[in-house]
Structure 1
Amino acid sequence: MNVPKSEWPSSLDDKELEELDTYLRVHGREGDLMLDGVHGLLSAIAVGPLEVQPDEWLPEVLHDAFTDEDEGNRVLALLAKLNDSITAELDVEAYEPILGEIDTEEGPMLSAAGWCEGFSRGIDMRAALWETRLAEDPELMQLLGPVMALAVDEGVLQADAEFERLSDEEYDECLGQLPEVLAVVTAYWRDNVPTEKEIAAMATRPTDEEPPPRHRSGHWVH
């Protein structure tokens, strides 16, 4: 689809992104999602098998009650706009992941750690469906290959076997493939909707089941 840039959906501008980023950093604790992680979370939800309502994902993003009503309304409005923009951007092939940066000896470098952590948590919103399908259909695992490679490389997910770290070129290549990955995963779930059996299994899954081991690495810097 070749849509003129003037007709791209309304996404958060730089000022709005900075405003939301500042709020999340000021109110976030260790392990909480920052802006890159929130974008990854909402991206996974957008391309996933079943709708996830805001009252389900907001607790992954906001952890304290708002002390200022106006500020609270503003933050919620920014999150809603960010959420809506993802599907709209995917529809016109204008999606770009929001990534963090890490300081290295060579200078600042893009990091997918936060985005991958958020994407993993987004999958957890419908974990039973994802895990069942990933176990039964190798096509979905193949489609998610670049995301999995980045997540393992960043330590967000643990590999079952010994994993060789990505080279800088391979890392950048995986980053560049993220928009395409999300597009094909969206198409996959559209063409392979969850069965009644899969949905029933999700409903009966124990709520205290431990999630797969993972941890977040990397940090957000300007």
Structure 2
Amino acid sequence: MTLDPESDDPLTDEEFDVLERFLSSNAVCDDAMDVVMLHGFLTAVICGPNTVMPSAILPWVWDARHATRQPRFLSAGRARKITGLIIRYWNDINNALNHCPDLFEPPLHTTGCKGEEVLILDEWCEGYCKGINIDREAWEPLLERHPEWFNVILLFGTASGYHELEQRDYTVGQRRSFANLLAAAALNIHQYWCEERRKLMEQGERPNMIAAASRPKDRTGKHTGRSDLDARDENESEDLFLVDSLGLTTEDAFHPLALSPLSTGVTREGTSVDVHIYRAGDDSRDGWILEIIDPLGTSTVWDDPFPTDGAALAEALNTIKAHGIASVTGGVPGHMTKH
């Protein structure tokens, strides 16, 4: 995956909200991860024994239960934007683990119980367990050597642990102590595998690379569903894009999009936007679509296609020059559509 030069920049609060809203929207199936489960999942992937590529983790983000159901993006630009936010979230966690371990803290949900705030550990722990399961065999030696590091993770992240929780009534104070143990366990595990990888490289070897989504048996036996989302059929098309913003029929919309090499980023007056130029597949008869995405993920799509990708880029640059970059981040002229 080619990463944006800004992929190391921490997510802003606004960008985090964009990602959170997308993962809880009808654009993904009801088994998609939320941002808390995603944090646990990415933490395990980062801490683990081998190098796991984005192509192996993204299917589990979109569908934490089966890794088969893909999201529906309004456009190729939106797909790149959301995927970029996930990669930067990954980098945020990685930087905390490696450079600021004292600041590493799982972002847990809370709920009220008898007038007290109770931490919910389930989603983060389940995400961590799913991260382990991508490369379960390689994790086994550590699971056997230091089971105490995994006690809380397995208690709140697996079906067997959930059954044990049902039989116990942990106090608010105990749950807070469990949350503290999560951070300590993650740091211990990360340090262990870093040392193992260092030893491996000293011997002239390198960790394995996992570049395709594996589909191990779901050992957690749990999944977090959102009842307010539309259910998806198990055999639903796995094509990546649903470009309904272009007025295509559902059948026609499920064609992959070809991005122009002229797609670029533009910065003016301290504001940066992404200029995306694309068409359906390799067929240029329908012309090139121009879309500009602002820092908050809002896209502006030109209603009429362009005969060439060069013409689309020229239109984008001319619009920004003539009307200012605010014209593609706030209100838009009549020949454009805001999404």
Q: Deviations over 1:38-85 (max 9, x none)?
A: 111101111111111000000111322423122112111111110011
Q: What are the equivalent positions in structure 2 for 1:9-48 lying under 5 Å apart?
A: 10-26=9-25, 27-48=27-48
The 1-side partners of 2:216 and 2:81 are apart by: 35
Aligned length: 197
Instruction: Work out whether 1:90 is the aligned partner of 2:90.
Output: no
CA RMSD in angstroms comes to 3.2
1:169 maps to a residue whose letter is G
Q: 1:172 to 1:107 in 2, by over 3 A?
A: closer
Q: What are the equivalent positions in structure 2 for 1:23-172 lying under 5 Å apart?
A: 23-26=22-25, 27-62=27-62, 63-91=70-98, 92-93=100-101, 94-102=103-111, 104=113, 106=115, 109-135=118-144, 137=145, 139=146, 141-151=147-157, 156-159=158-161, 164-172=168-176
C-alpha contact 2:154 2:161 (8 A) present in aligned 1: no
Greater CA drift, 43-52 or 24-33? 24-33
Q: 1:160 to 1:24 in 2, by over 3 A?
A: closer
2:30 maps to a residue whose letter is E
Q: Deviations over 1:148-206 (max 9, x none)?
A: 3333xxxx3314995634322111111123222211111112234598xxx99xx9xxx
1:14 maps to a residue whose letter is D
Name the residue aligned to 2:184: 180
Name the residue aligned to 1:214: 221
Q: Alignment partner of 1:97: what SS?
A: coil
C-alpha contact 2:37 2:126 (8 A) present in aligned 1: yes
Q: Which has the larger radius of gyration?
A: 2
Q: CA deviation at 1:209?
A: 5.7
Q: 1:129 to 1:168 in 2, by over 3 A?
A: same
The 2-side partners of 1:160 and 1:115 are apart by: 14
Structure 1 gaps of 5+ residues are: 1-8
C-alpha contact 1:150 1:171 (8 A) present in aligned 2: no
2:96 maps to a residue whose letter is E
The 2-side partners of 1:169 and 1:146 are apart by: 15
Name the residue aligned to 2:246: none
Q: CA deviation at 1:95?
A: 1.4
The 2-side partners of 1:177 and 1:88 are apart by: 20
Q: 1:37 to 1:161 in 2, by over 3 A?
A: closer
Q: 1:30 to 1:108 in 2, by over 3 A?
A: farther
Q: 1:119 to 1:69 in 2, by over 3 A?
A: same
Q: Alignment partner of 1:31: what SS?
A: coil
Q: What TM-score do you get using the length of structure 2 for normalisation?
A: 0.51
Structure 2 gaps of 5+ residues are: 1-7, 63-69, 201-206, 227-339
The 2-side partners of 1:84 and 1:209 are apart by: 25
The 1-side partners of 2:90 and 2:58 are apart by: 11
Structure number with greater CO (CA < 8 Å, separation at least 6) is 1
Q: What TM-score do you get using the length of structure 1 for normalisation?
A: 0.75
Q: Higher strand share goes to which structure?
A: 2
The 2-side partners of 1:187 and 1:107 are apart by: 35
The 1-side partners of 2:97 and 2:42 are apart by: 12
The 2-side partners of 1:83 and 1:184 are apart by: 19
Aligned residues with identical type, % of pairs: 19
Q: CA deviation at 1:216?
A: 3.3
Q: Alignment partner of 2:51: what SS?
A: coil
The 1-side partners of 2:112 and 2:51 are apart by: 37
